[in-house]
């Protein structure tokens, strides 16, 4: 588990000087996952300073390069600020440090159809950027990692189910599907929208730690899992796809990048795949990497969602999404 870095005022001021910032105030940013972040304010602007506790310098450097690429392509996302010596990153006690501009906006858990259309449009725009050669060519919690959870004898029922899902995906995912740059984790909490009357205005796409060169239809599958479900995953029947939302998301996507016929035919499988991958991430996170008695069974919510998607006749799925 990452040990979060606690910076004192002198250390924060020293780091701020590397960017020639005259800081007027600072405060810890609550809610970081695996990092230690601080809000820095000057007389004219607000920034987020992050000490990357859980990633190696080279990993953070890839994210930094990607943020610069996205800025060049006018993708609405956080902007990386470079230190005065023009390198992408600085360090603190051997850990990579990033400075980004602060973006004012709100996270909305239940997105409406208008908001989802914008999410689809932004995802498609991102997916059309030529993938750089420095990003991974597999998803960070995709099917190539599933074998790591199989045979651990932590949750035998889940591990058996995951092995069957892996066999299904290995047999059915077509190598002819288009690949490209994907965000890889399009859950609702990675979008910012405006406040109050501007809440239907898309502000920014956040968190590119899972970005990779992968199947483009996986992006839509993950976005549907992350934004278009209804129900309570703790209930026996679990969460189910909200098709009105999914149709809005996919419609927005296709305004920018129309799906190939093979992608349309594969979308249901990739929604199932995305739910399965998320179940794997939860299982690994809360049973292996950072065991938690409270969250040890959290993966079962995504298992139920994957099963619910599987049970839908393919003709009905296509009709309701497209």
Q: For the chain of 322 residues, list the mean pLDDT of each consecutive stretch of 10.
A: 72 91 87 74 93 90 96 96 86 93 94 97 98 97 98 98 98 97 97 88 96 98 96 64 97 98 98 98 96 96 96 97 96
Q: Do 164 and 311 sit in the same domain of this protein?
A: yes
Spell out a b/e string for 208-231, using b for 16 or more CB atoms within 10 Å of the CB, else e.
bbbbbbbbbbbbbbbbbbbbbbeb
Please report the pLDDT score of residue 85 as a whole number.
Answer: 74
Is residue 204 in a domain? yes
Structural domains of the chain, count: 2
Q: Do 70 and 204 sit in the same domain of this protein?
A: no
The residue range of the domain holding 219 is 113-321
Among the candidates 101, 124, 142, a domain finishes at 101
Q: Could you count the other beta carbons within 10 Å of the beta carbon of residue 144?
A: 13
Is residue 3 in a domain? no
Distance CA 97, CA 90 (A): 5
Q: Do 120 and 267 sit in the same domain of this protein?
A: yes
Please report the pLDDT score of residue 33 as a whole number.
Answer: 54
Is residue 4 in a domain? no
The whole-model pTM stands at: 0.93
Q: Do 163 and 70 sit in the same domain of this protein?
A: no
Please report the pLDDT score of residue 28 as a whole number.
Answer: 87
Among the candidates 69, 101, 133, a domain finishes at 101
The pairing of beta strand 46-51 with beta strand 80-81: unpaired
91-95 contact pairs (CB < 8 A, 24+): 91/57, 92/5, 92/7, 92/11, 92/15, 92/51, 93/5, 94/57, 95/5, 95/51, 95/52, 95/53, 95/57
Please report the pLDDT score of residue 31 as a whole number.
Answer: 58
Q: Could you count the other beta carbons within 10 Å of the beta carbon of residue 53?
A: 16
Q: Do 13 and 79 sit in the same domain of this protein?
A: yes
């Amino acid at each position: 588990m990452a040990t979060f870095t606690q910076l004192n005022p002198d250390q924060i001021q020293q780091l701020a000087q590397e960017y020639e910032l005259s800081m007027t105030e600072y405060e810890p940013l609550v809610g970081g996952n695996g990092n230690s972040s601080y809000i820095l304010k000057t007389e004219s602007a607000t920034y987020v300073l992050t000490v990357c506790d859980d990633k190696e310098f080279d990993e953070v450097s890839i994210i930094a390069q990607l943020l610069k690429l996205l800025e060049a392509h006018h993708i609405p996302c956080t902007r990386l600020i470079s230190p005065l010596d023009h390198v992408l990153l600085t360090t603190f006690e051997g850990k990579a440090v990033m400075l980004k501009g602060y973006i004012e906006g709100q996270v909305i858990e239940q997105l409406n159809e208008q908001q989802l259309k914008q999410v689809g449009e932004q995802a498609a725009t991102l997916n059309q950027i030529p993938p750089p050669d420095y990003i991974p060519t597999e998803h960070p919690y995709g099917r190539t990692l599933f074998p790591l959870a199989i045979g651990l004898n932590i949750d035998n029922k889940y591990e058996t189910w995951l092995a069957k899902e892996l066999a299904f995906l290995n047999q059915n995912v077509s190598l002819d599907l288009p690949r490209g740059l994907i965000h890889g984790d399009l859950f609702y909490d990675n979008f910012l929208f405006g406040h109050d009357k501007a809440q239907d205005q898309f502000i920014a796409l956040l968190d590119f730690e899972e970005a990779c060169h992968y199947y483009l239809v996986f992006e839509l599958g993950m976005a549907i899992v992350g934004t278009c479900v209804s129900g309570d995953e703790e209930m026996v029947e679990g969460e189910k796809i909200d098709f009105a939302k999914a149709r809005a998301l996919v419609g927005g996507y296709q305004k920018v990048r129309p799906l190939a016929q093979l992608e349309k035919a594969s979308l249901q499988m990739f929604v199932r795949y995305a739910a399965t991958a998320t179940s794997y991430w939860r299982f690994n996170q809360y049973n292996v990497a950072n065991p938690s008695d409270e969250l040890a069974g959290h993966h079962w919510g995504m298992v139920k969602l994957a099963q619910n998607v599987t049970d839908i006749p393919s003709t009905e799925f296509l009709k309701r999404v497209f």
